[in-house]
Amino acid sequence: MTGKIDEKKYFLGYQSEWLDDDSPVKIWEKSRRIGATYVQSYEDVRDCILGRYPSVWFSSADDSAAKEYIRYCVQWAGIFDAVINEGVIKKRNGQNAYRITFFNGSRITALSSNPKSFRSKGGKVCLDEFAHHHHQQELWKAARPVITWGYPVRILSTHNGKLNMFYDFLDQIRKGELGWSLHRTDINDALRDGLLEKILGRRVRKAEKDKWLDELRAGCADEYSWQEEYLCVPVDEATAFLTYDLITSCVAEQSASAAKEAVCALGIDIGRSHDLTVVWAMCRSEGLFLTKEVRVLRSLSFREQRREIEKMISGHNAIGVCIDSTGLGMQLGEELCEKYGERMVEKFVFTSKSKAEAAYHLKAKMQEGVVKFPADKEAIASLHSVTITHTRSGVVSIGAPRTESGHADHFWALALALRAAMNVNTVELKPRSGKLRLERNHRPGKRR
């Protein structure tokens, strides 16, 4: 039956690749507006006309998407010159199911996202915009058994963050934990395959493509909508200042075991009732910035915090300290300065500018591969919690949500530890009047 239709006339390269893939389960990580549902409807109509499956069950995220899918199916049936019956099935819950039945008895039904609609159904299953379904686990639980009976499953979706089954499936496939077939098409891939030429019905110059992309991007609510809906980048990673890949590349167990005598510095992010106080001890050895200890001080008074910090300074022979002296940390910073001197202790005040400088400096050193720390789940979560936002006016903001686990406290402690370690690059220890005196031979950056 497919001989009656020249598929190349209707489909672009990435769509043909999807059609040619007969894997039992295939999943499509896709951009909007690339014709994914369009080509899926063709595959489903073709399968029904050829008698491959008695039924196709299509689940959409909303009613309008179900109607559009059925309209595509009716269109393809007409092109195939296939006789069909079309109708609407009323559901008790007020939701509709749209069905077309072919001359050979096979049928296509477009259902709501209600998981109960899939119970005890046999046949091919298509889950459209799966990441946007409200009850993904229940929906998958209901749809999954069709694979056992030899029927295929098709999953298509744009991204909707990372806390969903769609992202989990992609992650498992890429790790080799799921043997499903994965397709990925962002808007740039589609353009390279001739999407705009297909839309306009003529040849298109590069300038026209660029203008079309700019208009598409301008129509997005913000930069993250663009990244997620058109570039196949989950908004979690799009907004994360440090990606998981970058963070995990810096993990090194017992990184400072071979550098016990190296110059050590502390970075301290101060908290009290809601946030944590985190003290990050870092040493510099052979060009690397190695973590010696990360200590979290929970629900301690400032007096108790000072006592613990002084123990760490003494225990690690620290010769440089950078402490958060914004708000709550102001008094503690002054007290440490009085005891150890301003040449050893830097009181760091967080402003939009200083936060950005410290954050980008940390990121740059991590990208260079010279910052190392242990695989601590709490610390890694804190590092990944920091987000970067860009307004349309070009203003950059770095921040993190405040949760029960803190407010990116590990991130800022690490950033301050790196700053302190850089500032004590070369230090001589000289006694004077029974007190420790520091003389810096080199200071990479002027203190602020």
- Strand partners of residue 125: 57, 153
CA distance 171 to 163: 11
- Residue 394: pLDDT band (50, 70, 90) is low
CATH class (in words) of the domain with range 8-211: alpha beta
Do 8-211 and 244-423 come out as alike in CATH topology?
no
Q: Which of 269, 264, 262 is nearest to 282 (CA)?
A: 264
Q: Calculate the average pLDDT of the chain.
A: 87
Helix (H/G/I), strand (E/B), else coil: 182: strand
The helix (run of H) or strand (run of E) holding residue 401 is none
Helix-, strand-, coil-residue percentages of the chain, each rounded to 5: 40, 25, 35
Q: Give the residue extent of every domain in the chain.
A: 8-211, 244-423
The pLDDT tens digits of the residues spanning 79-91 come to 999 888 887 775 5
Lowest mean pLDDT among 153-167, 177-191, 311-325, 415-429: 415-429
CA distance 16 to 7: 8
The pLDDT tens digits of the residues spanning 165-224 come to 999 999 999 999 999 999 999 999 999 999 999 999 999 999 999 999 999 999 987 777
Domain 244-423, classified CATH 3.30.479.30, yes or no: no
pTM: 0.61
Proportion of the chain above pLDDT 70, given as a percent: 87
Helix (H/G/I), strand (E/B), else coil: 156: strand
